[in-house]
A and B are shown apart, each in its own frame.
Chain A
Amino acid sequence: QKEVEQNSGPLSVPEGAIASLNCTYSDRVSQSFFWYRQYSGKSPELIMSIYSNGDKEDGRFTAQLNKASQYVSLLIRDSQPSDSATYLCAVNPPGGSARQLTFGSGTQLTVLP
């Protein structure tokens, strides 16, 4: 059973702080990793993708991947109340495209004004 694990939270940070969200995955050969943001009652919105070890930055977001530790994280700098949402980690297995995403249960983030 391929699993993606996340702390469910809730995680609360003050406005302007760095929010750190973590995810581990069980399938060592996973190749593609994604972070989605899901507001309550809405659909998942892709915010970051990462495919190789190291850091990838996009605006206030930084994704970090460590395949040896089977660990992927998302840092949100200068957190804003509008960042309050559930963040979903998703993993894509190898073997070509059009593969399923396996989602974690999500971490609920609250940014306090």
Chain B
Amino acid sequence: EPEVTQTPSHQVTQMGQEVILRCVPISNHLYFYWYRQILGQKVEFLVSFYNNEISEKSEIFDDQFSVERPDGSNFTLKIRSTKLEDSAMYFCASGRTGYEQYFGPGTRLTVT
């Protein structure tokens, strides 16, 4: 069964550094999302992406964040200058219809 994949599984970075989190959505899906989950807290929406543009973004998704679909398979989340409070699990999700969303295994980001 096709799955969303994410790399790396764990990323450690220093405050102020840029990180790029990578995702390969399920191949026939058209809708892509990023969520994050701070340890012990709710899953929070960051951004949705469809037809090569952002469909919706949350208040969390400020100018420090950007998303890109550089080719036909990858979907990336960039954080330009990481802060301590960016430490979280970042989940990529994809969907065929824009309603049901299937999550990848996540990238644990630790900012020191």
Residues of A within 8 A of B (CB): 32, 34, 36, 42-46, 49, 51, 88, 90, 92, 96-106
Residue of A nearest to B4 (CB): A43
Instruction: Report chain B residues within 8 Å CB of A101.
Output: 35, 43, 45, 101
Do A102 and B100 form a contact, CB below 8 Å, given A43-B91, A43-B106? no
B104 part of interface (Cβ distance < 8 Å) = yes
B99 and A97 contacting across the interface, CB-CB below 8 Å: yes
B8 part of interface (Cβ distance < 8 Å) = no
- Which stretch of B48-56, B71-79, B80-88 is in the interface? B48-56
14 A–B contacts, CB within 8 A, in A order: A32-B99, A36-B103, A43-B89, A49-B100, A97-B50, A97-B98, A97-B99, A98-B50, A98-B55, A98-B56, A99-B56, A99-B98, A101-B43, A105-B41
Residues of B within 8 A of A (CB): 31, 33, 35, 41-45, 48-50, 55-56, 58, 89, 91, 95, 97-106
A100 and B103 contacting across the interface, CB-CB below 8 Å: no
Chain A interface, DSSP helix/strand/loop, else mixed = loop
Instruction: Report chain A residues within 8 Å CB of B58.
Output: 100
Instruction: Report chain B residues within 8 Å CB of A106.
Output: 42
B103 and A44 contacting across the interface, CB-CB below 8 Å: yes
Residue of B nearest to A105 (CB): B42
Residue of A nearest to B43 (CB): A103
A97 and B97 contacting across the interface, CB-CB below 8 Å: yes
Residue of B nearest to A93 (CB): B56
- Expressed in whole angstroms, the minimum distance between the Cβ of B87 and any Cβ of chain A is 15
Q: How far is the CA of A55 from the CA of B41 in the complex (A)?
A: 29
Instruction: Report chain A residues within 8 Å CB of B33.
Output: 98, 100
Which 6 interchain pairs have the tightest Cβ spacing? A97-B98, A100-B45, A98-B55, A103-B43, A43-B103, A98-B50
A96 and B98 contacting across the interface, CB-CB below 8 Å: yes
Instruction: Report chain A residues within 8 Å CB of B104.
Output: 43
Do A46 and B102 form a contact, CB below 8 Å, given A99-B56, A100-B56, A100-B58? yes
B100 and A97 contacting across the interface, CB-CB below 8 Å: no
